[in-house]
Amino acid sequence: MKCIKKHRYVNLLLALFVIISISYSCRKDLLDFDNMASDAITPNWSIPLIHSKMDLSKILADYDHQDLIVEDKTKFLTLMYEGNVFSKTAEELINIPTQSYSETLTQNTNVLFDTELEVVYNYEFPMNSDAEQHFDSLYIKSGHINLYIESDYQHNGEMSITVKSLTKNGVPLVFSSQHTYTGSKVIISKDIDISGYKATFDNKQNKVKVEAKLKLDYKVANQTKATNQISATCNWNNIKFSKFYGYLGNVTFPVLKDDVVLKIFRNAMMDMGDIYIVNPRIDIIYKNSFGIPVRINFDKIEATGGKKAPYAVNLLSDLPVNPMNIIAPNYSQIGQYASDTISIVKTNALMQAISINPYYLSYDISASINDNGTTSNFALDTSKFAVDVAVKLPLYGRIHNFTLQDTLNFKFDKIEKIEAVKFKINIENGFPVETFMQVYFVDENYNLLDSIFAGGFTKAIKSAITDPATERVTSSVKSVIEANMTKDRLQNIYKVKYIFAKAVLNTEDNATKDVKFYSDYFLDVKIGVQAQFKLEY
């Protein structure tokens, strides 16, 4: 199966009609009136303008759009329009605020002789987080500890602090500094980078275990106080994690909204015609890389922006499951998505939705985690859940009086020197679609000035012939179209600012049977123009 990120088959027909109407002005370099002499003559010029043979694969390659055409091994084509929404990442959900700790200790230091004195303090500080969250382990991607210590011990020595809860390669974080007494308080200040460390917690209180050790060369002569005091302030700043194990709590995500744009209906006119797709479907793909089950609820899924009554169709009741509990990856799948898919296939509501020629499939999604009381979670900083919605329209069905219109800027230069123009278009059509068309010329106020076919809508392109058994084209059909514009009619469009290209499409036999579209269908177009001029020498 092949996917092609391009398509505009239906609008190509409009483009063909536009080419018919502007082919003269596109070749005005061949008719440069300013370079002609001034004596009066009335020559006829016949110019072949275009010869292009395009199969559907070529047409697809000529248009650069984000939508997908899926081609199977038989060359049968399916239009696919996609939308997707993503949740917040685990990094956005797990907020680790600045951790601030302070402690002051007072000790009676009445030692009667010189000695090596060692003072050891053990502490547990809470790692603050949202109320329900607790951490078993936290792999720190980035962060700093800012440490400030004041000591009035009147002796030299060494201060060391071991954060037992922080390890790198199995080795705890240790900070050491000389304790040098110079007659005033000893000040120790340090900024410690803890990137790459693993924080481990052995209880649900998120406690950080710290050991502080002060070794002193105690001198009785220096000791003038009955007690000594040491105070410490410690801030953990800008903590970001790469991996998390623990419990994230019951979290409700903000509502996620998106629209799938169904561009096939972009130029469809209001209340004009039908497109019937035999097997439309909507696939909803749930993906979850949290190590946590996610509960997702569609609050809305609706075809909107329709060109026909009722203009909107609710598809919510067609969902086979809603809400949906998305499975979580297991520990061996960390960093991967666990996924599941549900589909809406050819339901009555979906068939009605396609029949209104909608421009959007709109949906709103709400979600939550740990609804079922799960207490063992894991996540990477990048973990998230996603919902992909794919509208698949196999090009198998029928079109009845489906009307398209497009508007283009237009300029027709120096028409006063043209006596008459005749267009001749030879078309060999390998598509199972017949087309009636017209091109209108309007002024800057959109007042109708003229049309390219004076007699009204013209059956411009005859349908190719299909095999009733296979519903595949078996032979192409040739058509010849001529359009004449005399001097009087050309004068009518002297003020043309815009053109409206309008087409009415029907599949073979006036849309009485279903047909299929394949990538090797083709359109062979030859366009020529004959122009009569009045020139002066």
- The listed range with the strongest mean pLDDT (54-58, 84-88, 313-317, 447-451) is 313-317
Cβ-in-10-Å burial (0-12, 13-18, 19+) of 46 comes to: exposed
What is the pTM (predicted TM-score) of this model?
0.75
Residue 459 token pair: 């059956």
Instruction: Tell me the CA end-to-end span of the chain in Å, nearest whole number.
Output: 64
Q: What is the tens place of the pLDDT at every residue in 400-456? A: 887 777 777 877 665 556 788 887 888 898 989 888 878 888 888 989 888 877 777
CA 213 → CA 119, 120, 207, distances in Å?
Answer: 6, 4, 19
The reported pLDDT for the residue numbered 79 is 87
Segment 151-186, tens digit of pLDDT: 999 999 999 999 999 999 999 999 999 999 999 999
Each residue's pLDDT tens digit, 510-524: 888 899 999 898 888
Pairing mode of beta strands 156-168, 207-218: antiparallel
User: E strands of 319-401, at which residues?
Assistant: 324-326, 338-345, 360-369, 377-380, 385-394, 396-400
Residue in the block written with tokens 């917690």: 201
List the single range of 2-11, 196-205, 374-383 with lowest mean pLDDT: 2-11
The residues near 320 (Cβ < 8 Å, ≥ 6 apart) are 342, 343, 344
Taking only the tens place, the pLDDT of each residue in 83-139 is 999 898 999 888 888 999 999 988 887 777 888 988 898 988 888 877 678 889 999
CATH of segment(s) 95-247: 2.60.120
CA distance 497 to 511: 35
Distance between CA atoms of residues 368 and 62, nearest Å: 44
Structure tokens at 261: 């744009």
Distances (CA, A) of 284 to 83, 208, 320: 10, 44, 11
Q: How far apart are CA 357 and CA 520, in angstroms?
A: 26
> CA separation (Å) from 117 to 121, 149, 150, 213, 316?
14, 19, 18, 11, 75
List of residues 6+ apart from 472 with CB closer than 8 A: 466, 516, 518
Scored b (16 or more CB within 10 A) or e, 218-236 reads: bbeebbeeeebebebebeb
| Alpha carbon distance 264, 393 (integer Å) | 10
Question: 520: closest CA among 432, 391, 416?
Answer: 432
Tell me what the pLDDT averaged over the chain comes to.
Answer: 83
The residue among 220 and 175 whose pLDDT is bigger is 175
**What's the per-residue H, E or C state across 236-271?**
EEEEEEEEEEEECCCEECCCEEEEEECHHHCCECCC
| CATH architecture type of domain 84-91+250-394 | Sandwich (2.60)
Q: Dihedrals φ, ψ of 356, to 5°?
A: -85, 5
Tell me the mean pLDDT in the region 61-66.
48
Residue 260 is predicted with a pLDDT of 95
How many angstroms separate the CA atoms of 532 and 503, rounded?
29
pLDDT value for 293 = 87
pLDDT in tens, 371-402: 876 678 899 999 999 999 999 999 999 988 87
Query: Is the bond into 468 cis (omega within 30 degrees of 0)?
Result: no
pLDDT at 387: 95
Q: Which strand (E) or helix (H) includes residue 423?
A: strand 418-429
- Intrachain domains 84-91+250-394 and 95-247 with the same fold: yes
pLDDT the model gives residue 478: 92
Residue 510 is predicted with a pLDDT of 81
CA torsion through residues 371, 372, 376, 382, sign: negative
CA 181 to chain centre: 63
Domain residue spans in the chain? Answer: 2-76+399-533, 84-91+250-394, 95-247
* Confidence (pLDDT) at 56: 66
